[in-house]
Chains A and B, each alone.
Chain A
Amino acid sequence: MIRKLIYFFCCMLPYLALAQVQMSPAEVSAFKKSLQKAKEIKTLETDFVQYKHMSFIKKPVESTGKLYVQHPDRLSWSYTSPFAYKMVFKAGKVLINDQGKRQSIDVSNSKQFEKISHLVSSAIRGEEYNEKEFAVSYLKEAGGSTIKLVPKTTDTKRYIKEISLLFSGSDNLVREIILREPSGDYTRFVLKNRKINTKLHDSVFNF
């Protein structure tokens, strides 16, 4: 019996380590405080891999690119593979460059892009989330923390079910963003090779 119990716990150990649990109020407070250090971040440069998971296909659709953020209002989101596509959020406008063809982004894209770009900027700078717009919960796990945002407004609920921002335990920077849709399908953005406070060339935010 004891052997079975040991075997059971050994099997469950990886899952227990990965399990997310709600932070206590004291832990939330400490976590928020640790994010305050991020206010010193003026720029972020990172590679990203985007995985689109859909219930009816086995492997996710994958694309890669570069993300640049410059405080307070500049963000460049460009795909490099399998296609070249650049979106820039600058001075309240969203512009796209599709292999040389420049245009304003369409409504269906811009809603989510605007939402995510604002969230990324906020997350990077450790800013508070709008609790009128989202129900915010704080979770902890081995190796990091997660902020879960559940939309409160009917309009946002129609296309986003939940947003998860995963922070790495070592530097408290966002390492992953998961956007879950009402259908249960989701998009996962994994940020890699993050560099902070490097000088970003103006051309990054141009076409």
Chain B
Amino acid sequence: MTTPLLIRFVAEARELLQLASSGLLALEKNPGDEAVVNNVFRSVHTLKGSSGLFEFVALTKLVHAGEDVLSAVRAGQLSLTSELVDLLLDALDRIGAWIDDIEHKGRLSDGADGVSRDMTAALRGWLPALPDASGPAQEAPRRAAAVEILDVDWLARIDEAARLEAFRACAQGHALLAIEYVPVEDCFFSGEDPVNLMRQIPALHGLLLEGTEPWPDLDTLDPYRCALRLRAISAAPQTSVEELFRYVIEQVAITPVAAHQLAVLAGEADDNPVYEDFVEEARDLSAKGDWSGLKNRTQALLNLTGSTLFAASALRWLDALLDVPAPDPSQVAVLIAAVIDGEAPPLPAPASTVVSASGRQERTAVEAGATVKSQSFPSSANPASHLSPIGREILEAQRFILESLLKPEMFPGQIGSIRRTVANVISGVMEKADCAAWSAACDASEAAGTGTAALAELNRILGSGAEVGAEVGATEIAQADASATVHDQRQAPARILKVDQAKIDTLMNLIGEMVVSKNTLPFLARRAENVHGSREMAREIKDIYAVIDRLSQEMQAAIMAVRMLPVSEVLDRFPRLVRDVARKLGKRVELVIEGEDTAADKNIVEVLSDPLLHIVRNSLDHGIETPEQREAAGKNPDSILIIRAFQEGDQVVIEVQDDGCGIDPAKIRAAAVAKGLMDAERAARLSDQEAINLVFAAGFSTAASVSDLSGRGVGMDVVVTTVEKAGGSVALNSVKGVGTTVRISLPLSMAVTRVMMVEAGGGMLFGIPMEHIAETVRIPRSRVKKIKQSESFVLRDTIVPLLRLDALLGVPQPLWFGDADQEEAVLVVKINGALTGLVVDHFREGMDIILKPFDGILSGIGGYAGTALLGDGRVLLVLNLKELV
């Protein structure tokens, strides 16, 4: 789980799944409820949409199938039966398990592609048949059905060397898979390259490339209509093959192959007396079980035999078969016979397996089949059976009954019941020959009146199942493991708690109150010392204060962290927006976003959204030129728009920087005069930066025409107002012809405000937001100069106007008796970019406060930002200097 998008997807998917399943349950009770149908459909539809963002093909396909079914239900083409609901719920559970996998491992569990294909086919099976049978909904189940009936006759057409290789791989314990891939005709247009997809099959042991139909005349051949059929043998696990074909899984059939199916003999017949000697000797050795001796003889004869001969083919297979320490005697026997018979049954298939006849040896296939039936060989170690764990348990129970419980008087009834039970379990799972063998063994047992024959056969079935099932069953086991882990993980899934913002705000307020009440402790300590004369008490209170102070600070930080969001919340939509707007305007813009994980308080991030939109639109519309203009100006036709977010002190800063035409101060001056904002003389006196800052003035727009993007004159002034309301500031920097940078600074959090307390009006306390304060100075009264009614003083060669806070607040001013040495406490503040001196009575300490804006009837009073409670219970009025001055 790396990307935040994925984390959000997981959370959202869980919610949607929950909605869908509860909706489905409601629907089962009341199938006619359209609103619920719509809800369920919408949930699944949304899930499909968002899953498409990721590489979870199996999941998306399954959700898509579910969506199609629900869509049919919604359209009234399909009624929602309990079976269908079961199927849908199963699918939802499966998806839920995958979502858990995604959360924990970042990917789907192994085998997901196969599971998805099966479930998808099952779901699509419910869809009503459309008149147009070529639709994808029809295609999928048809192809999926091919999996079961996959015919593997074509194996014989793979060259013998490859088959021998596969056979040896199988003997070493690798299960073999036959893969048949018939790409859709237009697959070249969707970028598929079927042959080179086959190239990637791991452990490939054979590949056939054929046309699906006879090739047409070269003149009528359409090179871009795929008419290929691809078949392969692989010794790789089924899951990895499915993974490889995940995009075309519905066009692929995969089936396990038993090794003996590969052993199709071919070659020229000849008659050589040597064979007879060999066969005699070989039978002898084989009867003794001297496999290595037999192998030596086989190889010796093989060297003497022409490689194209049928006998050589038989010998090669015999050689391969003898690679295993304990080969199957019946298979050995058939191969030995094949050496001398020349045209003998080429199929060393043991009794347990169905003999598949290759086209070339049709004549002998019938005989081979007959042999199999009549002889009932002891089965090979490889009957390609895969018992389910439950089936195995049932069979073992039957074996137990046969072994111990069988009483002579009850025998006829019991053997019948055992016979039926076992037959039910193995039919369909095992090869037909196995079923036949079981039935024969039961016949024998019934005739003999003892369970011995049946028991022996059952042992064989169970024993062989154990060996063979291993590889094939590995998938099942893996799945069982996976579901087990899924189950474990479900015990403690990482949950995201969605909380109403108001609750967090309440917490925030409460912690604020606590910080304030904590501040009463130092007062209390002082009181204990001064009033009650207990120093020790005072010290203890201070100790406790230190602890509570630390805890409350940590708590405050923790609650603030809850509210912190990365600015990417806002920035995420810009790539799309910039692309669309740039296209519309015919401009070429490359957007670069930096520092998107910079975090800030939720409110701040939300405040950023609209101003940023204005600024980016402005840049695209007015700042960045068309490619032609840019080329004419000698710039790269692709412009670069950078949105950069970073933290600077306790401020979060967002810069939007373009390399466009910049703002021309001369134009701004002219526009200001034309709009009557100021006279020409004053406009001429403005510095370039001041002129540029005029774009922040209300009702100012220099764009020649009003476009639908920007330029209606409600641009930058709205930006400034919004940002300032949130306690931030906007700065604009522009160089004509080079580009423009707009910089928005906002406090990281609006929750805590740092203020400096000052005393004015004869002992009243006021708070002044720290961000306005430039410095504090004390100047002698003699340095205060009066210019008409206004006072001012010189601070480092700059004339700074001087205002008295008492006067601003309407408090009577203390009298002054002309002592020129008396100093004034002057707070130098920066308001709207200009320095102003504010005369106060005394400076007091700075502190962090939780600012509470006025509400009720007080909210109309100007000049105040709000109030805060002080530690000693007094109310601190915080001034809004911009309104006041």
- Does B bind A? no
Q: Which residues of B contact A (CB under 8 A)?
A: none
